[in-house]
């Protein structure tokens, strides 16, 4: 059995990790880490875990945890993992970091967009960007995995074949994305109160959201040139789900079948990426609770643009599910082990 520790197990991403790992046939959770609930029963915080977990919350002592765990998941705010990790820890265990600390290769870009000083930039070069469908072979060899964010996973996987195959003008990309409120975490914040969110929708982080450089960097690797794009996130009154509607100018006239062939080239054998039939566009409820990403697209002959739409569950493929997928790769397990949940509906 793989011994797994979760630092930040009391947050939404950490709780989703606990849910998935409890159902994983080859993993056991040895550490439910917390900052505010040390010493409390985990199931007293998450009552859905009543009689499923009898452990108490422990602190975020990563050095001690590294001696016990084969893998540590850090589902904590930006900056925390970078402030805890060291050579000793990395020699004893593997880390899958759900924050953005090791996602961006240029530390100056990270510090500018996150407004933080990076506490361990020496580990950035070796960290592998854990978008399994694209970086699978590198993940298998890693000891530090930078688990991608929810908007970014959805946006990159939706656009990747179009960019990689040179089908679109990469200077024309626009991503209009929506997220459920769990994407903002469990911490109490006035903008996330029921009355602030319910029956309303809003854009935020306009032309300034910190996921922009992450998407640009990864799509830049795909096409071999710098990518500059517009990314506008929106908050919508639902618990879970990301829907990313992406737009780009097509370079030449192509048919739906030709574009589908490009998607098939990368995703035909991918368990978690489902490219939908012509005329069908993803809905967040079709992926809820699962590690699937659904993608649909349409060529607009009138404007010469392609509109590609992706949907995923921000807490699963956008966070904890992808983290477990990375764990499976790190330990040579079947990639979808513990992740074959059928999406919830309705």
Ligand X SMILES: CC(=O)N[C@@H](CCC(=O)OP(=O)(O)O)C(=O)O
Ligand Y SMILES: NC(=O)C1=CN([C@@H]2O[C@H](COP(=O)(O)OP(=O)(O)OC[C@H]3O[C@@H](n4cnc5c(N)ncnc54)[C@H](OP(=O)(O)O)[C@@H]3O)[C@@H](O)[C@H]2O)C=CC1
Positions marked catalytic: 150
Among 8, 213, 282, 296, binds ligand Y (CB under 6 A): 8
| Closest CB 269 distance from ligand Y, rounded Å | 26
245 binds, among ligand X, ligand Y, none (CB under 5 to 8 A by kind): none
Q: What is the per-residue binding string for ligand Y in 137-166, x denoting contact by CB under 6 A?
A: ------------xx----------------
Q: Which stretch binds ligand Y (CB under 6 A): 29-37, 195-203, 207-215, 292-300?
A: 29-37
Within 44-73, the residues that bind ligand Y by CB under 6 A are 60
Q: Give the 3-state secondary structure of residue 265.
A: helix
Cα 263 to Cα 260: distance, rounded to the nearest angstrom: 5
Please, what's the largest Cα pairwise distance for the chain? 62
Q: Give the 3-state secondary structure of residue 65.
A: helix
75 binds, among ligand X, ligand Y, none (CB under 5 to 8 A by kind): ligand Y
- Find where tokens 């990313």 sit: 244
Within 150-179, the residues that bind ligand X by CB under 6 A are 150-151, 179
- What the block records as the tokens of 290 is 């699962």
- Tell me: does residue 325 bind ligand Y (CB under 6 A): no
Beta-sheet pairing, 242-249 with 174-179: antiparallel
Beta-sheet pairing, 242-249 with 230-235: unpaired
| Helices of type H across 115-193 | 132-141, 150-164
Cα 331 to Cα 297: distance, rounded to the nearest angstrom: 35
- Tell me: does residue 99 bind ligand X (CB under 6 A): yes
- Which run of H or E residues covers position 45? helix 42-45
Nearer to ligand X (CB atom), residue 129 or residue 263: 129
Give contact residues for ligand X (rule: CB under 6 A): 99-100, 149-151, 179, 183-184, 233, 235
Instruction: Give the interface with ligand Y as residue ranges (CB under 6 A).
Output: 8-14, 34-37, 60, 75-78, 80, 98-99, 149-150, 182-183, 185-187, 314-315, 318-319
């Amino acid at each position: 059995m793989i011994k797994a520790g979760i630092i930040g197990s009391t947050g939404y991403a950490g709780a989703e990790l606990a849910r998935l790992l409890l159902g994983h046939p080859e993993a056991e959770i040895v550490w439910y880490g917390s900052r505010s609930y040390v010493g409390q029963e985990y199931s007293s915080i998450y009552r859905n875990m009543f009689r499923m977990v009898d452990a108490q919350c422990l602190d975020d002592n990563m050095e001690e945890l590294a001696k016990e765990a084969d893998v540590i998941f850090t589902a904590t705010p930006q900056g925390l993992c970078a402030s805890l990790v060291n050579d000793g820890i990395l020699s004893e265990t593997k880390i899958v970091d759900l924050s953005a600390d090791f996602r961006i290769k240029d530390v100056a870009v990270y510090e500018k967009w996150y407004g933080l000083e990076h506490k361990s930039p020496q580990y950035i070069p070796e960290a592998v960007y854990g978008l399994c469908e694209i970086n699978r072979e590198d993940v298998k060899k890693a000891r530090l995995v930078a688990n991608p964010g929810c908007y970014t996973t959805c946006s990159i996987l939706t656009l990747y074949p179009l960019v990689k195959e040179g089908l679109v003008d990469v200077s024309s990309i626009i991503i209009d994305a929506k997220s459920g409120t769990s994407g903002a975490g469990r911490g109490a914040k006035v903008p996330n109160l029921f009355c602030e969110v319910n029956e309303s929708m809003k854009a935020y982080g306009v032309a300034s959201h910190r996921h922009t450089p992450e998407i640009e960097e990864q799509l830049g690797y795909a096409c071999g040139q710098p990518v500059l794009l517009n990314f506008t996130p929106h908050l919508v009154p639902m618990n879970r789900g990301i829907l990313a509607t992406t737009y780009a100018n097509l370079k030449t006239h192509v048919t739906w079948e030709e574009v589908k062939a490009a998607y098939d080239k990368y995703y035909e054998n991918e368990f978690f990426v489902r490219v939908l039939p012509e005329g069908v566009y993803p809905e967040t409820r079709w992926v809820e609770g699962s590690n699937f990403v659904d993608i649909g697209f349409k060529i607009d002959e009138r404007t010469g643009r392609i509109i590609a739409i992706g949907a995923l569950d921000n807490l699963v493929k956008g966070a904890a599910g992808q983290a477990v997928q990375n764990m499976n790769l790190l330990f040579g397990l079947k990639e979808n082990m513990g992740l074959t949940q059928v999406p919830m509906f309705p």
